């Protein structure tokens, strides 16, 4: 079963986190398909974040020239603590940034809909997403698409568009985005270490993003003001009925390690989405409650 990890442990101090050894069924599900040309991640950047982000494909020219405040200890501390877990699996590809304090362990990929991905948990390197494209060419895990389609159709009947801006993102692209960001900051005079630390405040380590698993959509906007729109209000009222949750709520930043992202909706399945919505918990809290 999934381990929630130290994000919760730090807050709840409930004892040793359970092991997160991948189950024997965590083999790749299928091969990625190429049913549509990649269109993802061509959106405008979101505002500067102070904690962490998952959706920032910022053009190099817009990378902040001034160092961001070093208020990102959540990530570093959680990663460091995880190294104390004896039976954790640490995929080598995700350890590239250990020099900056990030040593994510491999997540349990079953049940797939409740897969935990955050600063501390990443995908197995050989995990393959079987994608299908939405009507506007955004790829997503094939198993998620029917739920999204139903939700989108229901919203459309109320003249609300839930067009996604991005969905699945490859590990290669995740790494390219991060490395480009690091390089740009180094060009401005930062050391590799400092550049990496700063870049990881606005991007995820390859394999740690829910977009790498194809389980999440960014819908319509990458601005926090999205929560003032009819589309957001519709999602807030109905998304759980289709199996989606707001993954990074405003009041859960300390637990998710990611700043408020009203546009990022994660598929977890209808039953769990309804429970999560009713509980007011974030996914980390919910999975912790299931394991206690």
Residues binding Zn ion (CB under 5 A): 54-55, 218, 264
Q: Quote the least distance from Cβ 97 to Zn ion, whole Å.
A: 20
C-beta of 203 vs 264, nearer to Zn ion = 264
Nearer to Zn ion, 218 or 285 (CB): 218
* Closest C-alpha among 264, 230, 232, 235 to residue 247: 264
Our CB check for Zn ion shows the closer of 143 and 264 to be: 264
> In this complex, which beta carbon is closest to Zn ion, that of residue 5 or of residue 53?
53
Among the listed residues 46, 210, 261, 284, the single catalytic one is 261
State how far the Cα of 170 lies from the Cα of 43, in Å rounded to an integer. 17
Q: Least distance to Zn ion from the beta carbon of 167, Å?
A: 9
104, burial (CB in 10 Å: exposed 0-12, middle 13-18, buried 19+): buried
What is the SS3 assignment for 112-161? HHHCCCECCEECCCCCCCCEEECCCCCEEECCCHHHHHHHHHHHHCCCCC
Q: Nearest 5°: CA angle at 16, between 12 and 21? A: 120
263-291 exposure pattern, b = at least 16 Cβ within 10 A, e = fewer: bbbbbbbeebbebbbeeebbbbbbbbeee
Please state, as a whole number, how many other Cβ atoms lie within 10 Å of the Cβ of residue 80. 14
Would you call 32 a catalytic residue per the annotation? no
Q: How far is the CB of 83 from Zn ion (least distance, A)?
A: 27
- Give the integer Cα–Cα distance in Å for 102 and 97: 6
Min dist CB 55 to Zn ion, Å, is 4
Q: Which is nearer to Zn ion, 58 or 195 (CB)?
A: 58
Give the residue among 265, 230, 218 at the shortest CA–CA distance from 245: 265
CB of residue 209 to Zn ion, shortest distance in Å = 8
Catalytic residues: 261
């Amino acid at each position: 079963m999934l381990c929630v990890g130290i994000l919760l442990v730090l807050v709840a101090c409930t004892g040793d986190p359970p092991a997160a050894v991948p189950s024997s069924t965590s083999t790749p599900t299928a091969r990625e398909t190429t049913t549509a040309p990649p269109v993802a991640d061509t959106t405008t950047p979101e505002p500067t974040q102070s904690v962490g982000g998952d959706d920032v494909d910022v053009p190099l020219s817009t990378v902040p020239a001034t160092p961001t405040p070093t208020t990102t200890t959540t990530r570093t501390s959680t990663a460091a603590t995880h190294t104390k877990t004896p039976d954790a699996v640490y995929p080598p590809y995700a350890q590239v940034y250990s020099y900056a304090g990030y040593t994510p362990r491999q997540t349990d990929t079953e049940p797939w809909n409740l897969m935990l991905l955050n600063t501390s948990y990443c995908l197995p390197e050989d995990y393959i997403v079987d994608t299908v494209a939405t009507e506007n060419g955004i790829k997503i895990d094939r198993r998620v698409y029917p739920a999204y389609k139903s939700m989108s159709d229901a919203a459309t009947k109320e003249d609300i568009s839930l067009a996604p801006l991005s969905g699945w993102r490859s590990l290669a692209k995740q790494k390219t985005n991060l490395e480009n960001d690091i390089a740009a900051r180094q060009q401005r005079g930062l050391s590799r270490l400092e550049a990496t630390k700063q870049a990881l405040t606005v991007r995820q380590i390859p394999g740690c993003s829910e977009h790498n698993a194809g389980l999440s959509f960014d819908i319509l906007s990458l601005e926090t003001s999205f929560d003032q729109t009819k589309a957001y209000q519709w999602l807030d009222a109905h998304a759980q009925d289709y199996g989606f949750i707001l993954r990074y709520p405003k009041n859960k930043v300390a637990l998710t390690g990611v700043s408020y992202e009203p546009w990022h909706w994660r598929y977890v399945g209808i039953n769990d989405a309804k429970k999560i919505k009713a509980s007011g918990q974030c996914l980390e809290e919910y999975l912790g409650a299931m394991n206690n």
